[in-house]
Structure 1
Amino acid sequence: MSVGADVERRETAQRTAELQARIDATASAGGGRVVLGPGVHRTGALRLRSHVELHVEAGAVLEFVPDPALYPPVEARWEGAPATIHQPCLYADGAEHVTISGAGTIDGGGEPWWDAFRAGTLEHPRPTLVGLHRCRRVVVRDVTLRSSPAWTIHPLLCEDVSVRDVSIHNPPDSPNTDGIDPESCRNVRISGCHVDVGDDCIVLKAGTEATAERVACENVTVVGCTLVHGHGGVVIGSEMSGDVRNVVVADCVFQGTDRGIRLKTRRGRGGVVEDVRVSNVVMDDVGCPFVVNAHYFCGPGGREPVVSDRSAQPVDAGTPTFRRISLAHVSARRVRAAAGFVLGLAERPVAEVTLDDVSVSFADDAAPFVPAMAEGVEEAVGRGLVLTGCDDVVLRGVRISGARSEPLELDRVSGLRVVDCASDGKPIAEVDSSSFSH
């Protein structure tokens, strides 16, 4: 290390210690607010405490210096599995009544972390920008978050979480920079947020098969958010071994996301995703508005033959379940690949799916795009609603415009009802059948 770099590290360590001392003193006094005024505050990782509000005023920038030595290792999860990671930039573990607020900016200094990740030179996985682990009653509000080293806001095993009126900005080519990732959390409300990131915008997770503690992510509302340029708008999985249930997504706008509502898992994960309700959502320039994929092949083990096999496998504890999923009052314009894509398991189809008042129109100049990341799914342009491996499907008031193939592509679908649906103004034949496949 050069003399200049060594001096900078010592100065940053001193500033970090001073900021940490302010937080600790406030906590020792019974709680209160730590205010960062206008200007740039350069620091390493900070640990938040119970009953303390970190308030970043307008004009203030809390800037995290990308030096791995300033982010000591902590035990957490990484992509759903137990791992030792670099301490999050803003970190709390086992705290309660923790708040991050203000009209200022929190900058994760992400680019050197992204470069080190690509080069494989990090000893531990990158820090998240805000990591709240095993906490109760946490609030993140009003702040702008940018350039996160990895996931931006990651509540893990938390209860009573509120993220509201937050703006998140990560470049589109930044790796794994999800916006908001509640994992195995209970009672979560995400509202009024603007998320523009390099991976999924909002993701609900519940650990993988490698996680000993199976804790559900449940009672989650996503309301009034604008989600831009991510791989998915609102996503569930693929880490869902602990179950995800009772999810409401309402009054949101998706702009330029690869996929809109995206559910993904694979054999071996186990877990149940159930009672997901989406309503009053507008999408524009998305690859595929609605995807359910039980053959997701990304990540460790995703290329195993059992993941891609379309034949029925024995049902066991590792067999995942999707059921009771509803989309209502959804408008999607300038769609590229398909109106929707559902790929269920032969041994456990996706069950009880309802699309009600859903309108999809395709872009005239759409480039080919892969609707779902599964073996054998190819790039497409203008496919209709593709349903494979589904039970008890209701399509009511679905309108498709500009499809370049059949409006409905059905395989291994039972209990299908099609009511008052049309493609380019022509009625899609009404169906009420116990089984349909071709």
Structure 2
Amino acid sequence: MARGSGDVSVLEADVEAGGALETDEIQARIDAAAAAGGGRVVVGPGVHRTGALRLRSHVELHVEAGAVLQFVPDPSLYPLVDARWEGAPATIHQPCLWASGAEDVSITGSGTIDGAGDPWWDAYRAGTLEHPRPTLVGLHGCRRVVVRDVALRRSPAWTVHPLLCEDVSIRDVSILNPPDSPNTDGIDPESCRNVRISGCHVDVGDDCIVLKAGTEETADRVACENVTVVGCTLVHGHGGVVIGSEMSGDVRNVVVADCVFQGTDRGIRLKTRRGRGGTIEDVRVSNVVMDDVGCPFVVNEHYFCGPGGREPVVSDRAAQPVGEGTPTIRRVHLAHVSARRVRAAAAFVLGLAERPVAELSLDDVSVSFADDPEPFVPAMAEGVEASVRRGVVLVGCEDVRLRDVRLVGCEGSPLALERASGVRVFDCTADGKPLSDAELSVI
């Protein structure tokens, strides 16, 4: 962080939760630090109520321990900006903390940034918002971004959304949104390059960490690539680490390692559909422990959520013509994964007939099932029903290797195949017995 004469600017505490808005004062200090060539704006202990703020190049916003930067949920305090909403171009309310085209931007400190999302969620459910909700931290077209140590709470929508950014570091951040809060993903790098996420605790109402790359409506297809997720605890989300469904610009070169998933609906989750196009490739997952998850590993190329997801072409299991809108998933590898108290299935892969999921491997994967699980739908696609204790389900796959996969407590066939070719099984067991045969299963 380059520092100039703007370093250090300190805001005194506002101990009254209903105190006056400090938007103008905070923004003026950020602008003054930037004008001086860079600096640090420190938010001191106490409650500081504000509307949307714009971060600037070479400025660090530091929220001290005991400080709460609280965003007032009044739509008039969040001007409209052009960005993306769920991967498509849109006019949205400006993020609570927003930077656009900036470099060397930092948000740090042991304090709390509170999005006060409850009224936003209520308005979304009631359908009374004219424009999409603000994200809590929106970083658009920025370089050298750091988000570190802060506690992020009650985001109106996605919590941390770097879009078209390069060199992003998000570490030791705690994110907490209620489990029933809508679309409150934790960390959503979209069309970003060189992203490092480490040491974060994420407990949210949607996917915990999700990589995206725009939809078919995005004019410029920019990949999300070179991403590491290391040493994170991921709790209660719809997915632990997720790719898609917005991936028209490709997602590649992804490493997930040394993480714990607790109570997530799905663990590693890849989702897309016809029309999106794009390629997911070179994904490696290792040293991950999961507990109380619905399904540890899901690949779904018939994902039906979002605009256009209910079109017949999305759900059709028959082969369709291959074109620019045909997605590709290949070279995905899981190793050294332990999952306990699993509900629906050990793994569930639903690929396209015209372009199967290719070069998939599971190595040293141990799965045991819950004693009396509630039925759970492993993949959000037409025709996929809730299930319990299924083994490894492979539909629409080619060149698959299972090595040292151990299943305990599954019901029915431990390995169900449909339109699956080149499946190789080495040293795998179900309840201690060798896994040598598979039966046809119609999904």
Shorter-chain TM-score bucket reads: over 0.9
1:98 aligned to which of 81, 105, 127: 105
SS at match of 2:375: coil
SS at match of 2:196: strand
Alignment coverage as a number of residue pairs: 426
User: What root-mean-square deviation, in Å, do the aligned CA atoms of Structure 1 and Structure 2 show?
Assistant: 1.5
SS at match of 1:200: coil
Question: What is aligned with 1:205?
Answer: 212
Alignment of 1:318 with 2:313, yes or no, is: no
Alignment of 1:402 with 2:406, yes or no, is: no
Q: Residues of 2 paired with 1:120 and 1:437: CA distance?
A: 41
Alignment of 1:184 with 2:191, yes or no, is: yes
2:315 aligned to which of 308, 314, 329: 308
TM-score (norm 2): 0.95
Alignment of 1:230 with 2:230, yes or no, is: no
- Asked if 1 retains the 8 angstrom alpha-carbon contact of 2:19 and 2:49, the reply is no
Question: What is aligned with 1:49?
Answer: 56
Question: What is aligned with 1:342?
Answer: 349
Query: What are the within-5 Å matches in structure 2 for residues 17-416 of structure 1?
Result: 17-416=24-423
Report the CA distance shift for 1:37/1:416 in structure 2 as closer, same or farther (over 3 A): same
- Asked if 2 retains the 8 angstrom alpha-carbon contact of 1:266 and 1:296, the reply is yes
- Asked if 2 retains the 8 angstrom alpha-carbon contact of 1:278 and 1:328, the reply is yes
Q: Residues of 2 paired with 1:46 and 1:331: CA distance?
A: 43
- Asked if 2 retains the 8 angstrom alpha-carbon contact of 1:413 and 1:437, the reply is no
Q: CA deviation at 1:42?
A: 0.3
Q: CA deviation at 1:404?
A: 1.1
Q: Residues of 2 paired with 1:24 and 1:126: CA distance?
A: 25
SS at match of 1:118: helix
SS at match of 2:118: helix
Q: Residues of 2 paired with 1:9 and 1:303: CA distance?
A: 45
1:345-394: CA deviation from partner (whole Å, max 9, x where unpaired): 00000000000000000000110000000000000000110000001000
Look up the equivalent residue of 1:266 and give its one-letter code. Answer: R
SS at match of 1:116: helix
- Asked if 1 retains the 8 angstrom alpha-carbon contact of 2:216 and 2:277, the reply is yes
TM-score (norm 1): 0.96
Runs of 4+ residues over 3 Å off in structure 1? 8-11
Question: What is aligned with 2:9?
Answer: none
1:181-239: CA deviation from partner (whole Å, max 9, x where unpaired): 00000000000000000000000000000000100000000000000000000000000
- Asked if 2 retains the 8 angstrom alpha-carbon contact of 1:420 and 1:430, the reply is no
Q: Residues of 1 paired with 2:31 and 2:372: CA distance?
A: 57
Q: Residues of 1 paired with 2:28 and 2:412: CA distance?
A: 64
* Structure 1, gaps ≥5 residues long: 1-7
Q: CA deviation at 1:405?
A: 1.4
Q: CA deviation at 1:437?
A: 8.4
Question: What is aligned with 2:7?
Answer: none
Q: Residues of 1 paired with 2:178 and 2:81: CA distance?
A: 27
SS at match of 1:316: coil
- Asked if 1 retains the 8 angstrom alpha-carbon contact of 2:20 and 2:49, the reply is no
Q: CA deviation at 1:123?
A: 1.4
Look up the equivalent residue of 1:351 and give its one-letter code. Answer: A
1:91-116: CA deviation from partner (whole Å, max 9, x where unpaired): 00000000000000000010000001
Q: Residues of 1 paired with 2:441 and 2:38: CA distance?
A: 62
Q: CA deviation at 1:430?
A: 7.3
Q: Residues of 1 paired with 2:348 and 2:19: CA distance?
A: 53
Q: Residues of 2 paired with 1:150 and 1:61: CA distance?
A: 19
1:144-203: CA deviation from partner (whole Å, max 9, x where unpaired): 000000000000000000000000000000000000000000000000000000000000
- Asked if 2 retains the 8 angstrom alpha-carbon contact of 1:412 and 1:437, the reply is no
Look up the equivalent residue of 2:147 and give its one-letter code. Answer: V
* Structure 2, gaps ≥5 residues long: 1-16
Look up the equivalent residue of 2:170 and give its one-letter code. Answer: V
Q: Residues of 1 paired with 2:18 and 2:355: CA distance?
A: 55
